[in-house]
Chains A and B, each alone.
Chain A
């Protein structure tokens, strides 16, 4: 799973678009992340234009 720093996020919709499994969805002005879907591929971490996303050890990669 990933962690989104809400203080940095500019709701630009990038992480929602690049995620191969649609684990990120932009709801109004909050990105909802679904750790159940996330496969830890890191694409959105790389893509976020303001570096608001970091990979975090979730249950999948423990």
Chain B
């Protein structure tokens, strides 16, 4: 059988661009398709990332991709009486400009030798028997078929390409968060990400203010999929309730989207001739919904595994499962721990949260969020005495 490419990447966001780059660097001929006219736009993201990731991924950020540098985060209790500020090596981050960031990643893939097809929507998956053997995509407005030994589906939360290939990547309402966010001016900011916890204001989620400059920020809310009525309702209400902070704020962009916050897919993300990577495979932090760098990490892995097997002529599911095996031993372990934590957090009431904030100091909360429960247990006594109901909820973490 003739192939047009060794590896085809469908979707060229953070996951797809890293996959394309890794596969090209491994010596494969690679095509990456993205339906966007301009990669990165429109933005559907809070754009916050931790800087430690860049070293881990061997990536460099161009100054132009950075909107603001962040030294840490402020976590605010539901009653606003307690604010915890966490500043350490791990909270150092940046708020990027995804319009620049995503394009930079795609350029890196192009520099490594991948062919990039922008404004080229993938609308179908080609199959030889039960083996995925390429894609059908609109290029220059015309439907065309491109054959490849392996396909990497990296099309984000929509995840239609995996579904067209017969994999079940739908995220249930319960395990999905819905977010909406305004980019606003006249919002005074420090170099800190602000996170407001409150069941009343953001059920199963939180309100965030991510600075994009001295007086510009992404102000957003994410809520759990089972909540009513909708994310915009909560965001508008919250903004109105805080005139001291946002009374002069003006919206210059409205963004939104879905975030799968359930278990990351591993084996389920691999089929005959196909690997799913990034948010398309729910590889997202279940607590804060961050998924840019997790997508990059998974995309890189998918690119490496697909390339190795494409070159060896072994892109059947059994061989591609190496991706799942590696993912299970590393990233998935951390994410599953975070998922357990999410399920505890979502049971807490605002009173519980207020009690936790008033009993624990900055270090304790940092440890809690990092799932270092052992370090906090000693401090829990007084807290649990004051709120016996918490014992049952928190014991699930042990």
Contact = CB atoms under 8 A, between A and B. Distances in A.
B218 interface: no
Contact of A49 (B35, B173, B256): B256
A46 interface: yes
A54 B336 CA distance: 35
A18 interface: yes
Interface residues of A, number: 22
A27 B163 CA distance: 17
Contact of B230 (A25, A26, A28, A49): A49
B343 interface: no
Given A13-B44, A46-B173, A25 B258 contact: no
B116 to A, nearest CB: 18
Which of A14, A16, A26 has the largest number of chain B CB atoms within 10 A?
A14
B225 interface: yes
A20 B256 contact: no
A46 B225 contact: yes
Contacts of B232: 49-51
Contacts of A25: 160
Interface in A1-48: 10-14, 16-18, 20, 22, 25-29, 43, 46-48
B254 interface: yes
A20 B158 CA distance: 11
A19 B121 CA distance: 19
B318 to A, nearest CB: 28
Nearest to A27: B121
B156 A13 contact: yes
Contacts of B255: 10, 12
B37 interface: yes
A60 to B, nearest CB: 20
Given A25-B160, A49-B230, A10 B254 contact: yes
Nearest to A12: B256
A43 B258 CA distance: 12
A17 B11 CA distance: 14
B257 A13 contact: yes
A22 B173 contact: no
B257 A14 contact: yes
Interface in B175-206: 176, 178-180
Contacts of A46: 173, 225, 228
Contacts of A49: 178-180, 230-232, 256-257
Interface of B: 35, 37, 42, 44, 121, 156-160, 163-164, 170-171, 173, 176, 178-180, 225, 228-233, 254-258
18 contacts: A10-B180, A10-B255, A12-B44, A12-B180, A12-B256, A13-B158, A14-B157, A17-B157, A17-B159, A18-B225, A43-B173, A47-B178, A47-B258, A49-B178, A49-B180, A49-B232, A50-B180, A50-B254
The 5 closest A-B pairs by CB, nearest first: A12-B256, A49-B231, A49-B180, A14-B258, A17-B157
Given A12-B257, A18-B173, A46-B228, 6 more contacts: A12-B255, A13-B157, A46-B173, A49-B180, A50-B254, A51-B229
